[in-house]
Amino acid sequence: MKKFNTTGVCIPEKHYMADVSKKIREIEKMVAEGKYFTINKPRQSGKTTILYLLKKHLEKKEYRVISITFEDFDQDIFSSINTFSKEFLLTIRDRFEFSGDSKFVKLIEEKVDTVNNFKDLSRFITTMIRKSNKDIVLMIDEVDKSSNNQLFLDFLGMLRSKYLFEQQNQDLTFKSVILAGVHDVKNLKLKLGSDEEHKYNSPWNIASEFKVDFELEVDQIASMLKEYQEDRNIDLGSDYFAKKMHYYTSGHPFLVSKLAEIIAEEILRENESSWDKEYLEQAVKIILAKDLPNFDTLIKNIENNNDLEDMCIDLIVDGRKITYNLDNPTIEKGELYGVFKNDGGSLKIHNRIYEQRIYNYLISKIENSLESDAFDFRDSFIDNGQLNLKEVLERFQVFIKEQYSDQDRGFLERNGRLIFLAFLKPIINGKGFDFKEVQISQEKRLDVVITYLEQKFIVELKIWRGEEYHKQGLKQLADYLESQNMDQGYLLSFNFNQNKEYKNQELEVKNKKIFAYWV
């Protein structure tokens, strides 16, 4: 029986999969036009699966496809041109042998010992193309494995030379060459040290721009859920869950499959035949608490790049509006690692789950220096099993006054909202969940949706910028409460004026009750 798959390549016969045939057809069109290109996407974004499906599709279209990965190559193989050239051919031989292409197996075995350099390899490729009754497509996955190696760049230079000569009817070469990895060849400078900068010489300037988006669309997610629904005889609103999964993941293939897997295998009870709508929010809470390699890579890339961390803070804590500009090296790096995305010309964190996970990371750094007594007072915030959020906010006022009254304004303005979230965490931990939603406006609001058991609260966190902005903010919060079908909400304003007052008010705005607090 099929399962949702979140490790390795997805196989249609074994796994529930989104219908990505539209993407495959778009790539096939590039192959048919003889394009050479690079598929550079972050890890676990579906590259290997797309390459597998593309290979199967092209073979049905009468292409001969050679699909290899540099992950199979030991670093010693890149030690010399002679070693690399022979291993490259032997790897191709293995693929032909597995597919039953005995003619080419024999050809390689006869010629491999005569191939000692890239010129010899080039001549062999010409001979192989001439003897083939089908166009040959070369796919190489995990090109990052050697992308800081001059030998690899020379190999690309050989392929480039053959491509250009074929355009002039002076050589024969592969119909299409597809390189796949995290880094594009044009980004190799990111992986070369300063003493190696001379290696970067654009050996792949023949490559066409690759525009196929790997993120799953809502209908593609729905196709996967419908297959599962029919196969398991499960009652679920596939359109609803597809839209909500897309809302949280922005169509990230791994995250979509992982949420579905969590619902199917961790939340759905035995003999239960339907998915409740609340299961998705439960799955989001569960996935955020998991120690996943995908999250490890996300946080590692932010932790190892201070400029990335600063830009994440600008976006999701300070609410800055940043124009998407790929010429900005930090933005380029963040998109390369899957942290950022282009959202209609504005820079955004790629998806809400990543945004929340980054928040958790930033909060953890604040927690290390937080001398909070929130955990000690935890029971006083719970009345008959219900969270009393007003008590929490009042205690937070006292906490800020006692612990941070002497802190400089810059520190509090940068970290105040993270301090509140770190203060809140031990109170709701285990029974509650908080989800952040940045609202880009003059107010630079941060809306926090807090759940505790069956309770739900909306708290708006913002920096005090005067009475007029405050009134606008109250109206915006009331509108947001209306969109969430909530009758009351909470407003926490961080006031950095010297003569600030720690106060609270109960207000009514557009028939919504709002409890406002100042710290």
83 in the same domain as 194 = yes
- Bridge partners of 141, per DSSP, are 69
Q: Give the pLDDT of residue 376.
A: 59
Residue 496 domain-assigned?
yes
Asked if residue 350 belongs to a domain, the reply is no
Summarised one tens digit per residue, pLDDT across range 444-487 is: 567 888 888 888 999 988 888 888 888 888 998 999 899 889 99
**Average pLDDT value for residue range 436-442:** 56
Question: What's the pLDDT score for residue 105?
Answer: 95
Confidence of residue 192 (pLDDT cuts 50, 70, 90): very low
**Confidence at residue 307, expressed as pLDDT on a 0 to 100 scale:** 95
Listed range (42-56, 165-179, 296-310, 371-385) with the worst mean pLDDT: 371-385
Task: Note whether 188 and 157 are within 8 A (CB).
Answer: no
pLDDT band at residue 199 using 50, 70 and 90 as cut-offs: very low
Same-domain pairing of 179 and 279: no
pLDDT computed for residue 198 by the predictor? 45
Statement to judge: residues 260 and 166 lie in one domain:
no
Residues 177 and 252 grouped into a single domain: no
Listed residues 139, 166, 199: the one ending a domain: 199
More confident residue, 302 or 44: 302
| Average of per-residue pLDDT across 45-62 | 93
Give the mean pLDDT of 172-186.
86
The answer to whether residue 488 is domain-embedded is yes
In a domain, 212, yes or no: no
pLDDT at 377 over 80: no
| Spatial contact of 398 and 372, defined as CB atoms under 8 Å apart | no
Note down the domain range covering 444: 369-519
Query: Would you state the pLDDT for residue 222?
Result: 97
Chain-centroid distance of CA 176 in Å reads 28
Q: Is the pLDDT of residue 443 over 90?
A: no
177, 38: one domain = yes
User: Which CATH number do you get for residue 31?
Assistant: 3.40.50
Greater confidence (311 vs 499) lies with 311
The torsion angle over the Cα atoms of residues 194, 198, 199 and 204, rounded to 10 degrees, is 120
pLDDT at 187 over 80: no
Beta strands in 98-225 (DSSP E): 136-141, 176-181
Determine the average pLDDT of the residues in 140-147. 78
List, for residues 59-99, the tens digit of each pLDDT value.
999 999 999 998 888 888 888 999 999 999 999 999 999 99
CA distance 137 to 28: 11
Domain stops at, among 290, 316, 343 = 290
* 213 domain-assigned: no
10 Å Cβ neighbour count for 18? 25
Find the range with the poorest average confidence among 45-59, 144-158, 184-198.
184-198
* Band (185; pLDDT cuts 50, 70, 90): low
Q: What is the pLDDT of residues 243-253, one digit of tens each?
A: 999 999 999 99
How far is 29 from 21, CA to CA, in rounded Å? 12
What global pTM score does this model have?
Answer: 0.86
Are the beta carbons of 99 and 93 closer than 8 angstroms?
Answer: no
Q: Are residues 276 and 390 in the same domain?
A: no
Q: What is the mean pLDDT of the chain?
A: 88
The domain tally of the chain equals 3
| Same domain, yes or no: 116 and 194 | yes
Looking at the structure, tell me whether residues 238 and 191 fall in a common domain. no
Q: Do strands 15-16 and 3-4 pair parallel, antiparallel, or not at all (unpaired)? A: parallel
Q: What is the pLDDT of residues 5-32, one digit of tens each?
A: 998 889 999 999 999 999 999 999 999 9
**Residues 283 and 376 grouped into a single domain:** no
What's the rounded Cα separation, in Å, for the pair 94 and 92?
A: 5
The DSSP letter of residue 324 is -
Residue 446 included in any domain:
yes
Q: Which two tokens stand for residue 454?
A: 């069956």
Query: In this structure, are 227 and 194 located in the same domain?
Result: no
Q: What is the pLDDT of residue 445?
A: 62
For residue range 394-403, what is the model confidence (pLDDT) as tens digits? Answer: 999 988 888 7
Q: Which of 261, 290, 319 is the last residue of a domain?
A: 290
Same domain, 57 and 177: yes
Domain co-membership, 510 together with 446: yes
- 7 lies in some domain: no
